[in-house]
Amino acid sequence: MRGLQGFYRRLARNGPASLAEKAVYGVLLPFSIIYREIIRLRAYLYRRRIFSSYKAPVPVISVGNLAVGGTGKTPVVDHLIKFCLAQGRRVAVVSRGYGGKKYSGVQVVSEGKGPLLGPGQCGDEPYLLARRNPQALVLVSPKRVHAIQQAVENFGADVVLLDDGFQHLAVQRDIDIVLLDAQRPYGNGHQLPAGLLREPIAALERGDLFLLTRCNNKEERKLPVKGPVLHCRHVLADHAQTLNGEQIPLTRLAEKQGVAFAGIAEPEDFFLSLKAKGLHLVSGVPFADHCTYTESELRQLAAACHGADYLVTTEKDAVKLTALNLPLPCYQVPMALDFREQGALERFLSPIVCPEDKEL
């Protein structure tokens, strides 16, 4: 399954190269054209107010992307939660809960005292955000309007972070933050399913602030946007944690041989980052994005562990592993953001998050 996913990912990111890729691309392209026109029509109907959208009584900050997967959205949302909490706000994260169980109603992941649900119930990202930010409210629902209403009315939220909200036009927002991968922001330039784009590139005109993520060099990429563009990169911490939360310096792992694994959109980037930190990896095992770890995945890990002393993975994967019988001791390495324009994001958001300061 991972090989098939890798084949599709290469095609959608880079365009067709081999004969097989060209054949698949030719089949998918007509569906992309149909999808593009449907999405354009939908956006037009919202823009003309033929479709109604909900206006929340509190500020709503949307964080989303133009392409599927791999922009590093979770660390950005985590960064925004911490900023809102530092301003004394009662912040609520509202998510669809991708990767969790499917519910028709609103599921409260956290009431501001840490997670109440497991990652299998609410999805790995909402669970991780609730665990890393126990004071934040976290709610998931396929109908995010209902989740926002509950967050405000039942829990007193005064700021809402709409996770993966760029295409969720049923909710009005005060700021639209759009994430783009600096290495390849549009994939091969086509909409799903022949490419990675959820919308045409022209949809960027709705954005207010743009974050170019994975900026590992000083090269400037020109974007067809009017709003400010910030640059950041994802950096691994200098420490690792056991699945129980015990912290150790990465230098201790660098003295041994490890096997890295990850069920994220771009696992190879994670493996390269570990090597850049000085870790010696016997192998890197990629799994599907939002992978649910079953006996099949555990067998793959066990087969890769010959000559290794430990396993290492991401925080998003680690939250799903605590009850599993892993073949070796397992560590997680936290990830954070490093902004080129220090403080610019906070200055941009302050009038929305702290409107009383603006009035002074």
**Pairing assessment for the beta strands 60-65 and 330-333 based on DSSP bridges:** unpaired
Q: Is residue 113 packed enough to be buried (19+ CB in 10 Å), middle (13-18) or exposed (0-12)?
A: exposed
- Alpha-carbon span 344 to 347, nearest angstrom: 5
- Alpha-carbon span 243 to 318, nearest angstrom: 6
Is 322 marked as binding a ligand? no
Is 284 marked as binding a ligand? no
- Alpha-carbon span 284 to 294, nearest angstrom: 18
Is 67 marked as binding a ligand? yes
Cβ atoms of 304 and 262 closer than 8 Å: no
Taking the CA atoms of residue 65, residue 81, residue 276 and residue 317 in that order, the dihedral angle to the nearest 10 degrees is -80
Is 68 marked as binding a ligand? yes
Q: What is the dihedral sign for C-alpha 163, 164, 167, 168?
A: negative
Is 74 marked as binding a ligand? yes
- Alpha-carbon span 93 to 190, nearest angstrom: 30
Is 112 marked as binding a ligand? no
DSSP 61-109: EEEEESBSS-S-HHHHHHHHHHHHHHTT--EEEEE--TTS---SS-EEE
**Smallest Cα–Cα separation from 140: which of 109, 171, 167, 165?**
109
- Alpha-carbon span 343 to 86, nearest angstrom: 14
- The three state secondary structure string of 254-285 is HCCEEEEEECCCCHHHHHHHHHHCCCEEEEEE
Is 12 marked as binding a ligand? no
Euclidean distance between the first and the last CA atom of the chain, given in angstroms as a whole number = 57
Q: Phi and psi (nearest 5°) for 84?
A: -65, -45
Is 344 marked as binding a ligand? no
Mark the binding-site residues, compressed into ranges.
67-74
Mark the binding-site residues for ATP, compressed into ranges.
67-74
